[in-house]
Amino acid sequence: MKRNFEKWFTELRDCITGYKFFVDFSKTQSKVQELEKKLKIMSTLIGSDNIEQDFEDLIVKYPEVLSCIPILLAVRNNELLIKEEGQIISFSFDMANNPIEKYQEFMKETGLFDLLSKRQVKSLSDYVFGIEVGLDSHSRKNRIGTEMESLVCKHIQNAGYELGKNFLTQTSLQKALEKWNLNSINSFLGRKRFDFLLFNSPTKIFVVEVNFYGGRGGSKINAITRSYKSLYSEISKYPNLKFIWITDGLAWRKHKNILEQAFEAMPNTLFNLRELEEGKVFSNKC
């Protein structure tokens, strides 16, 4: 029976996330606590009238304080490269690899000396906490992906699959075939890692990809759709493989034509969360 795209499309939902989606405060707080002592030492420079000399004295006495400088610029890497007058200068903040004068120049040119000497912040710990909150917000895309995978995982288990036995996550197809004593596949498919792989019968494997687009989606949606169409074509060459794409989210409303084309081009492949919850996607009876 042919599925009705228009009806299917109206079932897409706006949101799957709860209150914890926005900021992981326990994570941001722990990041600040890791640097607490160094930040307190660096905070002694706040309001300094002779900050370059005070900075030099501080680094001589507490060289380990260098490691907290990158996060003051919202950067996690402790190895930074700067282009200056046609040359590339490497700065290590784990261990000084330049004269103190170069670190003074770094602090001056990046604006950190002004930040401190002009009292633009009152507490570096509070300042870094704010930075960590901002950086953590970039993890929302990862969190929504994890949330979607968790939802799907729960329903796979409810369908009777056992994790590690006939149900694998984030595993290459080749490793799954080896585990289940099935013939290998000599193509990029064998090397590709999938969100879920399900051993459905003596020979049948469900190859599953999942995603949720709660924002605008944009070019990523176009690229993913093209990629999955290609993946569907390749997987369809193997009678023991079935591709399943579970997707949902508000962003699809702005890309309805793209989704409809994929829905028609890949029959009985696209599913939404409602179908998942109704038990229409996975069945050990297949």
Tell me which amino acid residue 248 is: D
Handedness of CA 233, 234, 239, 242 (dihedral sign): negative
- Of the chain, the percentage scoring pLDDT greater than 70 comes to 97
Structure tokens that stand for 22 in this block: 């926005």
Range 30-68 burial, b when 16+ CB lie within 10 A, else e: ebbeebeebbebbbebbebeebbebbeebbeeeeebbbb
Q: What is the three-class DSSP state of 196?
A: strand
Question: Phi and psi for 167 in degrees, rounded to 5?
Answer: -155, 115
Q: What tens digit of pLDDT does each residue of 2-19 get? A: 899 999 999 999 999 888
Handedness of CA 226, 10, 279, 249 (dihedral sign): positive
Domains and CATH numbers, the chain: 5-19+139-277 (3.40.1350), 25-137 (no CATH)
At 74, the pLDDT band (50, 70, 90 cuts) reads: very high
The answer to whether residue 164 scores a pLDDT higher than 70 is yes
The answer to whether residue 285 scores a pLDDT higher than 50 is no
